[in-house]
Amino acid sequence: MTYCVAMRLRSGLLFASDTRTNAGVDHIASFRKMYQFQIPHQREIVILAAGNLATTQSVLSLLNARLNGEGEHLLNVPSLYDGAVLLGRTLKEVVARDSGGGMQSQGVDFGANFLLGGQIRGEGPRLFHVYPQGNFIEATEDTPYFQIGESKYGKPIIDRVINYETTPLDEAAKCTLVSFDSTIRSNLSVGLPIDMLMLRANQFEQAMKPPHRIGRDDPYFLSLRDGWSKGLRKVFDELPNEPWFDN
């Protein structure tokens, strides 16, 4: 299992992913799940992946291998919508090849979820969730974020904090790390390090920065984890006890 989050806010885009994969408690490894595609000053595209590792790696290998071909690829699609169509089509191609046509074969789930976001000059920042079946939805101002993987533990804090209009990227990053900490505490299949990348709206770079990697000894993450835990405990202690039982 894994945990990935992406947000589309008025101030820009944020992407974050853990790096843990597991096939049981005795087979745990680390693989990056964030991938970048860029033409300087023209387009910046980021993909996050969760699900069957063989499927996600095959999809990304095909997308990269076709960048130098004459057909449609991520560096020449006219819009992010067309990029989502291409990603969904490639996902269906890989699943059909490896599973014999179905999503499952011999008890193996070949499915995968992807988050694709970024900006192509001429349109605003966009974000899509591509499902295992190859179809997808787009983030809106009412629903400005997507999660894939082990999402339930880290969802409440995002729902309470994130607002498309008013949340700046630095606060979104803080909220996202609290979301990851909540997930890591409650699920062993999600773990550090965390990769995080932020893209400010309409600020195309000469070269996209690599994601910032947050490891086990990262001082900011450790202070955030400690402060959040103590703050929750303090607020909990200050809440009144129930009034309907005798002391």
What confidence score (pLDDT) does residue 100 get?
79
Position 239 confidence tier, pLDDT thresholds 50, 70, 90:
very high
Position 153 pLDDT exceeds 90 = yes
**Average model confidence (pLDDT) for the chain?**
93
Q: Identify the pLDDT of residue 206.
A: 75
Is residue 222 predicted with pLDDT exceeding 90? yes
Give tens-digit pLDDT for 19-78.
987 645 555 677 899 999 999 999 999 999 999 999 999 999 999 999 999 999 999 999
CA distance 39 to 87: 18
- Which pLDDT value is given to residue 22? 65
Q: Strand order in 34-39's β-sheet?
A: 34-39, 43-51, 112-120, 126-130, 136-138
In tens, the pLDDT along 69-127 reads 999 999 999 999 999 999 999 999 999 999 877 666 677 899 999 999 999 999 999 99
- Structure confidence at residue 189 as a pLDDT band (50, 70, 90): confident
pLDDT for position 216: 93
Task: Look at the domain 3-238 and name its fold.
Answer: Glutamine Phosphoribosylpyrophosphate, subunit 1, domain 1 (3.60.20)
Q: What is the mean pLDDT of residues 136-165?
A: 97
pLDDT for 26 equals: 56
Domain locations in the chain as residue ranges? 3-238
Quote the pTM value: 0.94
